[in-house]
Amino acid sequence: MNSQSICSWIYMLLLFLFNWNIVDVFGQSNNFVVTNFGALADGITDSKQAFADAWKKACQTPGGIVTVPTGKTFLVSIGEFEGPCNGQTLLQMDGTLVASEDSKLDDTEFWITFHKIDDLVLCGTGIFDGKGALSWSHCDESSSCHHRPASLRIHAVTNANIQGITSLNSKMFHFQIHNSQNVNVENIRITAPHDSPNTDGIHISNSRDVKIVNSIIGTGDDCISLGDGCTNVNISGVACGPGHGISIGSLGKYSDEEDISGITVTNCSLSNTTNGLRIKTWAPSKSSIVVSDITYADITLDNVKNPIIIDQHYCPHDECQNKGESSVQIKGVKYINVRGSSATEDGIEVQCSKLKPCEDVEFCGVELKLNGGPTIANCSNVGGQFLESNPSCHDLLPLCNK
Ligand SMILES: *[C@@H]1O[C@H](CO)[C@@H](O)[C@H](O)[C@H]1NC(C)=O
Ligand SMILES: *[C@@H]1O[C@H](CO)[C@@H](O)[C@H](O)[C@H]1NC(C)=O
Ligand SMILES: *[C@@H]1O[C@H](CO)[C@@H](O)[C@H](O)[C@H]1NC(C)=O
Ligand SMILES: *[C@@H]1O[C@H](CO)[C@@H](O)[C@H](O)[C@H]1NC(C)=O
């Protein structure tokens, strides 16, 4: 039985058995309910040890399950769920986990970490509440704002299914997927206020074969961002907004970065976001990586400030103004059937590097309006073809003036 069907099977059981104790159903053998390990559902007492103990048992047991029961709230100051485990390990997350509000804990890098696990299932209707408000408030004063933990870290994990859960008000990023392979994220919800600093929804880096499907993400930063070293990542059926859109980058800041290729973003909608579909690289760049084979298709935008943007001159805070061009090569980027409303007259901004002009950037069926009227396309250092006369493309507006 694959992990997805185990997940739905458990859902069905819960549904049919109603209030039966799941322990009775499975016997004590493979199901470890956190309350049986001393977790206190008062939302105040730190239950980190109970969660650690339940995880340890489940991890050692083939097909082990950690159950966080429905309707219960647990404070967990820090959660470290580590493998290698003895076969598949499932965290059946139906309750609520709250992080500590204590800003002294903000020195830790992550709140909940899944590390070195093969075959992980994280599913349920539960909520990870990062309690970010207090730590965001420090960001006005700048200094104590830098070290805030990300809510959920998926690190060195292979074959993971993450389904159904909600991540709320992370202190920093909601999800970080790093050094992982074959990760499916489905039907999740990520929520934080539009002005919460650096609360990116899902940040993926150095990972391959990742799928994000049918999820709702509204945050104060990128809904989804892809860092260097990502290969074969599909994002589909994601509703993004508020937030900063779906981003690749920023890239080229560090010398040890790796290429990005095979990214598809399909059937997504973006509403009230500052950016829509963005690729950004630092100028100058410390690495000369290649970003290739990127496809955006069937995207609707609603009131988006920069709907389509490639910015190869990224350098915030005037750190490196005019000190060089980006050496990151962008090639093979397709925008197919991208439609909707822009909040500014700049529908398409493609500002590539003089040093490494963009190659093969194609627009097909791109229609972006401002108050029902046309928008501008502003492009420089872009090579390749613009499919103005492609017979399969309709309503090809606006066109880049090369
Ligand atoms: C992403 O989509 C492409 C094209 O449909 C497919 O070949 C690839 O296997 C998919 N990758 C993942 C990780 O789902
Ligand atoms: C498109 O995404 C929506 C969710 O936003 C989903 O319900 C629908 O099934 C998706 N359609 C296709 C063809 O994948
Ligand atoms: C976008 O903003 C408008 C106006 O503030 C609001 O009415 C609408 O509900 C927002 N849409 C989304 C999806 O948040
Ligand atoms: C195009 O973008 C460049 C760089 O941001 C800017 O200097 C220029 O004024 C823009 N042109 C138009 C027509 O908006």
DSSP states of 54-76? HHHHHHHSTTEEEEE-TT-EEE-
Query: What's the pLDDT tens digit per position in 15-66?
Result: 444 444 444 444 558 999 999 999 999 999 999 999 999 999 999 999 999 9
Mean pLDDT of the chain: 88
Question: Both ends of the chain: CA-CA distance in Å?
Answer: 54
pLDDT of the residue at 138: 82
Establish whether 178 is a catalytic residue. Answer: no
How far away, in angstroms, is 275 Cα from ligand 1 center? 25
What is the model's pLDDT at position 28? 54
Ligand having the closest approach to the CA of 270: 3
Give the pLDDT confidence score for residue 10 in this predicted structure.
54
Tokens for 78, please give them: 């820090």
Helix (H) or strand (E) holding 341: strand 329-342
What pLDDT is attached to residue 97? 98
101 C-alpha vs ligand 4 centroid, how far in Å? 44
The preferred substitution site among 261, 264, 298 for testing ligand 1, maximizing ligand atoms within 8 Å of CB, is 264
Residues across the chain: 402
Q: For residue 7, what pLDDT band results from cuts at 50, 70 and 90?
A: low
Count each helix (H run) and each strand (E run) in the chain, helices first. 4, 29
Q: Is the pLDDT of residue 144 over 50?
A: yes
Provide the whole-model pTM.
0.90
Give the span between the Cα atoms of 150 and 143, in whole angstroms.
18
Q: What pLDDT was estimated at residue 150?
A: 95
Cβ atoms of 187 and 146 within 8 Å: the answer is: no
Reported as a single tens digit per residue, the pLDDT across 340-381 is 999 999 999 999 999 999 998 888 888 899 999 888 888 888
Taking residue 295's Cβ as centre, other Cβ atoms within 10 Å add up to 16
- Do the beta carbons of residue 146 and residue 185 sit within 8 Å? no
Domain architecture of the chain: domains with CATH: 222-402 (2.160.20.10)
Pocket test for ligand 2, best of 234, 267, 299 (most atoms within 8 A of CB): 267
Token pair for 268: 């997504």
Instruction: Evaluate: CB of 209 within 6 angstroms of ligand 1.
Output: yes
Q: Is the CB of 300 under 6 A from ligand 3?
A: no
Ligand showing the shortest atom-to-Cα distance for residue 266: 2
Helix (H, G, I), strand (E, B) or coil at 8: helix
Residues 139-154 have a mean pLDDT of: 81
Residues of the chain above pLDDT 70, percent: 85
The reply to whether ligand 2 has any atom less than 6 angstroms from the CB of 213 is no
Residue 397, pLDDT above cutoff 80: no
**If you write DSSP's letter for every residue of 21-40 in order, what string do you get?**
-HHHHH-TTTEEEGGGGT--
Decide if 305 contacts 277 (C-beta within 8 A): no
Atom 10 of ligand 3, residue of closest alpha carbon: 272
Q: What's the mean pLDDT in 76-98?
A: 97
How confident is residue 103, by pLDDT bands cut at 50, 70 and 90? low
Lowest mean pLDDT among 54-63, 274-283, 291-300, 377-386: 377-386
Which segment of 3-17, 149-163, 199-213 scores lowest on mean pLDDT? 3-17
Q: How far is the CA of 304 from the centre of ligand 3 (A)?
A: 11
Q: What SS3 string covers 189-256?
A: EEECCCCCCCCCCEEEECCEEEEEEEEEEECCCCCEEECCCCEEEEEEEEEECCECCEEEEEECCCCC
Closest C-alpha residue for ligand 3 atom 4: 272
Ligand 1 close to Cβ of residue 234 (< 6 A):
yes
Long-range contacts of 50-54 (CB under 8 A, 24+ apart): 51/76, 51/79, 52/79, 52/80
Cα 13–chain centre separation: 30
| Residue 323: exposure state from Cβ atoms within 10 A (0-12, 13-18, ≥19) | exposed
The active-site residue out of 194, 244, 313, 394 is 244
Nearest C-alpha neighbor of 132 from the set 183, 62, 201, 197: 197
Query: Rounded to the nearest whole angstrom, what is the distance from the C-alpha of residue 400 to the centroid of ligand 4?
Result: 13
211 within 8 A of 241, measured Cβ to Cβ: no
- Which residue, by CA, sits nearest to atom 9 of ligand 4? 378
Q: 293: Cβ below 6 Å to ligand 1?
A: no
Residue 22's pLDDT is 46
Instruction: Give the pLDDT score at 380.
Output: 87
CA 34 to chain centre: 28
CB atoms within 10 A of CB 13: 14
Please give the DSSP secondary-structure letter assigned to residue 173.
-
Taking the C-alpha atoms of residue 211 and residue 229, their distance in angstroms, rounded to an integer, is 15
